[in-house]
Structures are given as structure tokens and as C-alpha cells.
Amino acid sequence: MLVLKNKSVKIILIVLLLVALCGCAFGAYVGGRAWTNRLDYEHDYDEVYSHPDYSLETNDEGLLKVLKINDTHFINGEIESDKRTLDGLKKALDSTPVDLIVMAGDLVEGCNFNVRYDKENAIRKFSELMESYDTPWTFIPGNNDGEIDGSNRDVIALMLSYEHFITGNVRDIYGDTQFYIDVTYNGEKAHTLAFMDTGMRKPKITGSYDHLRESQIDNLKEEINKRGVKTSLFIHMQTPAFGTAYELGEDYENMPKRLSSSYKSIPKNALFDEELQNEKLLTLISCGHQHGNDVCSFYGGRYYQLSSPSGYTAWMPKDVSPTVTLTTINVLEENPKLIYHFEKIDV
């Protein structure tokens, strides 16, 4: 019995040792990829701080069309689900001429162990598709884009090599993207498009979701008031007010409404809601991130619009299919409730 007991103890110790070694190897692998850049590019991220002032002109009727893509979660741009996504995006763009394309985060998959994962190839495949339309396009970092094989700043530096890509940031504020586009009608400023980085996880990969910081919020408030026109904001991750809008807001007709996880899952973004709740010039907040959720509701003088994924590689509930969101902005309309026309387009 004593011999058997000793053998059992040895087996348990060996198993524990193997588990510890595997854990160390796993940690080293993930840690190495989290802090290693595998993207090849020529531009310097710091170019974003000297970006030009961007502007877009509406058509004669005062309309501007923005196509939002989000949560494609590409693996390499070559696997079947990635190809299907690219083909679907092309079909949507071919049938829908727009003035601006917004990739609103999670372009690529985050931490994963897929041996076919090729972040750079995925980014280039997507960027080449965008470039084929001679239309300005931009990218807002999601929580997954900078997790492994290159940071958000590396992704943006790579995209800077594409002619129609536009981006920017403000020195000494939190995040990797924050900039504005003036929308003009007959040469006069009539609307503003704003873009903000909602962060990733802290600590990287394993931590809880990041949140919008005071420096970002203060800059947004300053720019809205300086411009003095109604503003549409595009971000990746939602704020708790999306949950309130889902529960109490007036739903936009023919837009999907779903709830599979709490809209209030990032409680620290309540600071943003508190600071902006009385800002009447902020008339739309548009985001993605929550794959099983959809909402487009008017609440508190603005629209809260959250889109489920645009890609077949992304996880989705069985009743959700990839779509992109077309937002048409009427800059001549004074009533915030009537400024926007929203439409889902199948991918």
C-alpha cells in the first residue's frame, strides 16, 4: 500500500509539473505575441498628429452617406469565411455609393492560436478593397485589433500607406485615434463627424474592458462647442446609455433590435454619459462590439445605434447574419430625430 501511495504522489507531482510547464509556455507565448510587432510598414504612427483638416461636401440636397463596417474579425483574408466577408463587403459597396467608409473596430481577430493567422495580410486585403472605391475611409481601433502581432498604432501606421485612408489623433490625450471631419454644404460648415478610440483591455488580453477617459471627453466637448454644429460620433465599444436607450428610447423603424448581453457591461463609460448627457449638438453615437446586440433608438435628444458584426469569421448568434450599416445624414434638418436615415445592408 505504501508503494502504491508513493507512486500516486509521484504521478500527481509529475502532472502538476507538466501543467505548470504548459502554463509557463502558454504565458510566454501569449506575452511574446502581445508585445511583438509582426507588421511591416514604412510610415511612422506620429504622422497622425500632423494630419490635415478633413472636410467632406454633401450633395445638393444636403445629404452625406456613411457606411459603417464593424467586427469582421479577419484571420488572414484568405480563409473561406474571410473571403466570404470580403466578397460581401464588395457587393454592398458596389450597390451603395457612399461618401465615407468607417471601419469601426475589430477588423482582425485578437488573441488566438490559429496557425493560419496572418494579421498583416488580413489588413492589406481589407485595405486594398477599400482603396478600390476611391472613397475616403477610416479605422477606429477595437478591443481586439492591437492584442497580438502589433499594436493599434502599428495597424494605423500600416494603413497610412494607403492613399484614401484618413485618420488623426490629438497629442497628450488617451487613446490612439481621435479626430474630426467637417461636413460642409455649399462650402459652409454644417455638421461634424467625430471618431474616438474606446480602448482594449487592461491589462492586455486578460483584463477588463478599457473605458473612455477625461482627456478624450474634454477634447470632444471642446471640439463640438468650437464647431457649433450637430455632431455624429463613431466609436467601437458602447456606453451604459445604450442600455437605457434600448429600454426607454424610441426605436427606429425597420432596424433590428436585439439583446444577448448587457449594454451596460462597461460601467466606467458612465463618465462619458454623464459629461455628454446635456450636449444637444451630439445627435448620434454609433458603435459595434457586442456581437449579439442591435439597437437604433432615439433617447435624450440623440440616436444610439449599435451594430452586430459585418463578418462571417466573427462569432454571432444563429439568428444574426453579417451586415453593414448605412447612415444618411441630412445636414439641412434641424430636428435631431429627423437628421438620420438608417439602413442595414446584407454582407
Question: In one letter, which amino acid is 222?
Answer: E
Q: Answer yes or no: pTM beyond 0.85.
A: yes
Q: If the chain, 347 residues long, is cut into consecutive pieces of 10 residues, what is the mean pLDDT of each piece?
A: 60 59 48 83 96 96 98 98 98 97 98 96 98 97 97 98 98 97 98 97 88 98 98 98 98 97 96 98 98 98 98 96 98 98 98
Q: What is the CA radius of gyration of the chain?
A: 22
Q: What is the DSSP letter of 215?
A: H
Q: Environment class of residue 75 by beta-carbon count within 10 Å: exposed (0-12), middle (13-18) or buried (19+)?
A: buried
Question: HSE-up of 125 (CA within 13 Å, CB side)?
Answer: 23
Sign of CA pseudo-dihedral 38, 43, 46, 48: negative
Domains located in the chain, CATH noted: 35-346 (3.60.21.10)
What confidence score (pLDDT) does residue 24 get?
Answer: 44
Under 8 Å between Cβ of 286 and 238: no
Residue 6's CB: how many other CB atoms inside 10 A?
10
What confidence score (pLDDT) does residue 25 get?
Answer: 44
What confidence score (pLDDT) does residue 22 get?
Answer: 45
What confidence score (pLDDT) does residue 15 get?
Answer: 60
Provide CB contacts within 8 A for 246, sequence distance 6+: 257, 259, 263, 295, 297, 304
Under 8 Å between Cβ of 345 and 72: no
Encode burial over 19-43: b for 16+ CB neighbours within 10 A, e otherwise. Answer: eeeeeeeeeeebeebbeebeeebee
What confidence score (pLDDT) does residue 34 get?
Answer: 83
